[in-house]
Amino acid sequence: MTHAPRDFLAPLVDAVSAATRAHSAPADLLASCAPLMADLVTGDPEGALRFVDTLSWPAPDDPMYRRVRVREGADGAWSLYAITWREGQETPIHDHGTWGVVVVLAGTLVERMMTRVDGGRGDEGVELTPTGVCILQPGAVNTFMAEPDHIHSTGPLRGRAASLHLYGRLMTSYNMYDLDAKTRRPLPVE
């Protein structure tokens, strides 16, 4: 008798759904969801690697990482994306406009954080300055909130990486920053 493979994401999906029903404040959601994302990897490292093996990877010559929505909450309360990266691929500088939690499944990600120094919150005259670098290894969890905007770019430190990204809305677009034009514009990503 064969058994259907366990859905690696099922416990996380159930727990995130419960957390979003119980809490509305972003800080409370982060406090609830960050440990869930960590437990997903540390509680079942073999399951995490099996999940990574099921993911689709970008071609070696593809300039863009691969991003796939793997689950979403009722009424768009949250969304979960698997992202696979090859060396040299990274996001543009962006913010999400919502809270979020990231966990690294395989490889190492580097996050380059930026802060607005123009004193504004609009889409024109944007000036950013680097404010830090975070190195995220397998099992590492990072969180962010929309206020103030969490502005950053992310990519693998070297080699390949895979990560899960939980957002407080359907992440069909985010705000991309153009340093040369000094602008922030919505960028559709689905």
Mean pLDDT of the chain: 93
CA distances, 126 to each of 121, 131, 186 (Å): 8, 15, 14
Q: What average pLDDT does range 161-181 have in this prediction?
A: 96
User: Which pLDDT score, from 0 to 100, does residue 190 have?
Assistant: 83
Q: What average pLDDT does range 150-178 have in this prediction?
A: 96
Q: What are the residue ranges spanned by the domains of the chain? A: 10-188
Q: Could you tell me which residues come within 8 angstroms of residue 49 by beta carbon, excluding any fewer than 6 positions away? A: 105, 106
Does 1 score more than 60 pLDDT?
Answer: no
In which element (H, E) is residue 58 found? none
User: Which pLDDT score, from 0 to 100, does residue 39 have?
Assistant: 94
User: Which pLDDT score, from 0 to 100, does residue 11 have?
Assistant: 93
pTM, full prediction? 0.93
Q: What average pLDDT does range 63-82 have in this prediction?
A: 95
Select from 67, 97, 102, 112 the least CA-distant residue to 85.
67
User: Which pLDDT score, from 0 to 100, does residue 60 have?
Assistant: 87
3.30.70.260, 2.60.120.10, 3.90.1150.10, 3.40.50.300: CATH of 10-188 = 2.60.120.10
